[in-house]
Amino acid sequence: METLIVIGIVLVLTSSVGFMAVKYLDKAKIVTARSQIETFSIALDAYFMDCGEYPSEAEGLAALWEKPQGAGPYWSGPYVGKPVPQDPWGNSYEYRQPGYNNAPYGIRSLGLDGLEGGEGNDADITSWE
């Protein structure tokens, strides 16, 4: 009987820790996406300094890793340390050129739900907000 009580207590404690860990995992993914978008922004600015323009929407973020056809002789990449990863939820980052609100470019992760918009943990993570 005592063993069953101890097992029950251990299960309750384990499950409560597990639920807390999931909450922090969601936050970590959001922070990771923001960090990656910031890294892409810095790399895009370096690309602009070398080439005189940002990659086209068709070239996308891949132009930071692999020299695109129209980059010209001044491309001195790669501008990121490895090929552009997917966002923490397994979706591709969206790159727009020109960007939103008169920005030269825009980068967006659609977040947990993979759909445009949303709130809280389902919200988009963008370079312009």
Contact 95, 110 (CB under 8 A): no
Q: What's the domain range around 73?
A: 2-126
Question: Which residues have CB under 8 Å from 83's CB, separation 6+?
Answer: 62, 65, 66
State the pLDDT at residue 114. 67
Q: Which amino acid is at 113?
A: D
Give me the CATH number covering residue 27: 3.30.700.10
State the pLDDT at residue 44. 92
Number of domains in the chain: 1
pLDDT per position as a tens digit, 13-41: 776 666 666 677 878 888 888 999 999 99
pLDDT per position as a tens digit, 62-84: 989 988 887 778 888 788 888 88
